[in-house]
Structure formats: structure tokens, C-alpha cells
Amino acid sequence: MLDMPFHVEIDGRQYQGRGLSLVRAGIGGLIDPHASGTERLALFVFPFQGFVVALSIEVRILDTDPARGIAALEFLDPLGEHLPQLRHLMNAHIAGDLVTLGDTLAIRPAGAQKKGTAAPDGRGARRLGGTLALLALTLLLIGLVAGKVHQRVFTRTLATPALATLEGQTLAATATGQIDFLNPEAKAGEVAFAIRANTGQTLSVVLPCDCQVQLLGVEEGSTVFAGDPVLRASPPDAGVTLTGTALPEELLDLSRAGAVEVSFADGSEITARLATLGTAAPGEPVTFRLTPDAALTDDRVGQLAEVTLRRPGPGLLRPLFARSTPETKADAQ
């Protein structure tokens, strides 16, 4: 506890200071015996030559002794807004040094500095450092705000992930019913699958070429509706593409996206471009196909990927929105 001149005002009553630290203070005066344990807003007043410094601190009244007229004040928030000023005043009192508040109010101990001598306190260097720090923080804030604006206005992630598939044609169900026969090993001209329709008929679909066959989530016994994709037939040298569906409210952003970024579950990222955009009834999801800018390996087939659309920003703001182009990890050739 530091013994320095100060007094405390609580609820309009003034108490003499009897010691001060960064977390507690002692006071003396007419103590209310019922005040022990209560929380109050205390005004700490430090008198100096020609001016005073007053700090508002929330305290809890403890260790009251009405008979002796003393009590202790515990600071509720020792790290509050008062801390820098209080620490400065206490350090200056301990050192007997110059007490300065800003650039206007100052008290010098008698004989501490002779007339005409300069005080090498490095104030100019500190001021320059503070200005540079403020400038750096301002630029950082501008960058963060620009990033948030770009993310909200010029970036959109599709609600449904895309699926990596081989290039080719999709064979769909010709009627509503149940998959009665499925032959992924079929050759050109052979039956690839058959559907037992609700009408009782059995409808067969023939594979149009000697192709690689990829099942699209069906098996024998699966129920399908007319138009549902059943399998995908791809030439032997087919590359890997990405197919997905977009909601009606996403179509405009998809069609005018300046860049399309694709992220796989393992963290790999590539860029792609819109190849085809299908059609659908009003209000229904629309299928689309993306062509990767970097070739994907066959082991990507069947994997899901998140699709992010980036619209080109205004010309003046593009340097703030610039992003490095993601590189494919382990997929680029």
C-alpha cells in the first residue's frame, strides 16, 4: 500500500485516503456500519498544484471498523479504464519524477530541472511511434472491412456440393418403378439396366458404347422415378468433371461468376469454369457441369466438393480483394 495524498468520495461523503495499491485502497472517516460488503462507485481525487485528477472506480467496501473510522475498498475491476492513469500517478509519486497529463499539465519537483535545460524524455520518438502504430492499425482495419465486404457481396458458396464424375452421358430411368436388372459390365448393345415399371411392364436400357460405367447411387431393387439418373457412361479416355445442382436463387451468381473455386474434403483446392448449365421447371434445381482448370485424377471420382463462386469486384477495389489462385494439392499434373 502506497502512502500518497488522495481522498475518496462515495455517495456524496468524503473520506481521507490511508494507503493505495493497484487493487485496493484504505480510507478513514465516518464509516457507515451497514456499508460492509456493498458495491459502490467511488471517486478517487488526487490533488496537485493548480489542478486535481479524479478517477471513477467501482469498489466493494470491506473490513469496516466504525469505531476506529476505517475501511478498505477492493477494486471490482483492477484492469479497468482507470488502470493506466492510476499506475502513472503512483509510479511518478514513487520516483519523485515529472508528473505529466497529456502535453499541457505538468508539475516539476523543486530543483528537479534547471532553467534553460531540455528534458531528454524521448517524447518526440514516442509520439512518432504512436502515429506509425495508429497508421498500421488503420490500414489493417481497412483490409479487414474490405475482406468482409468482399465475402458478403462478391462471394457465394452453393448450398449443395458438387460430385466428381467422369465425362460422358447420363442414362436415366425411363419410367417410375424398381430396378429389376443392373449390369455395370455391359458392352455396347447389351442391356445396362432394366426397370419394372408401376404399370407392370419391364423396360430395358441398352448401353450405347463400350464405355466405363459409373453407378449413380442405385442398386438392384432400388426405387426410381422417371428421369432419375441411374448410371453414367464414359469413354475410356474420359476426364474427371464436376456435376451438381444449383437452386433458382443461385443461378444468376453461377452464370456470371468471375471465378469458381472447388474445395475437396481433404483440403485440396482447384479452380474450374462453368461448362454447361441445364434447364428445369420454374422453381426447381438446375443441373450444371464444371470443367477443372487442372486435370483431376480418377481417384477423385465419387468425391464431394464445396463450390464457391466469386463475382468480379469493382475495378478500384480489386487490389483489396485480390486472392492468390488456389493450387491443386496432389491433383495437378
pLDDT of residue 152: 62
- Domain of 275, in residue numbers: 156-166+239-333
**84, pLDDT greater than 50:** yes
> 272 with 309, same domain?
yes
Q: Cα-Cα-Cα-Cα dihedral of 214, 220, 223, 226, to 10°?
A: 50
Does residue 137 belong to any structural domain of this protein? no
> Which CATH number belongs to the domain containing residue 89 in this structure?
2.40.10.220
Verify that 221 and 101 share a domain, yes or no: no
pLDDT in tens, 272-285: 988 888 777 788 88
Residue 288 main-chain phi, psi, to 5 deg: -145, 165
pLDDT of residue 26 exceeding 90, the answer is yes
Does one domain contain both 63 and 173? no
Q: Check residue 184 and give its pLDDT.
A: 85
How many of the other CB atoms lie within 10 Å of CB of 272? 22
Tell me the CA end-to-end span of the chain in Å, nearest whole number.
Answer: 71
Note the pLDDT of residue 146.
66
Answer yes or no: is 143 within a domain: no
Q: How confident is the model at residue 256 (pLDDT cuts 50, 70, 90)?
A: confident
Is 190 in the same domain as 287?
no
Same domain assignment for residues 320 and 298: yes
Q: Tell me: the pLDDT tens digits for 156-170? A: 888 889 888 877 778
Which of 237, 259, 284 delimits the end of a domain? 237
| Cα gap 273→65, rounded to integer Å | 80
C-alpha cell, 10 = 462515495
Query: Does the residue 145 lie in any domain?
Result: no
Is the pTM higher than 0.85? The answer reads no
For the segment 2-25, the average pLDDT, to the nearest whole number, is 92
CA 94, CA 89: separation in Å to the nearest integer? 9
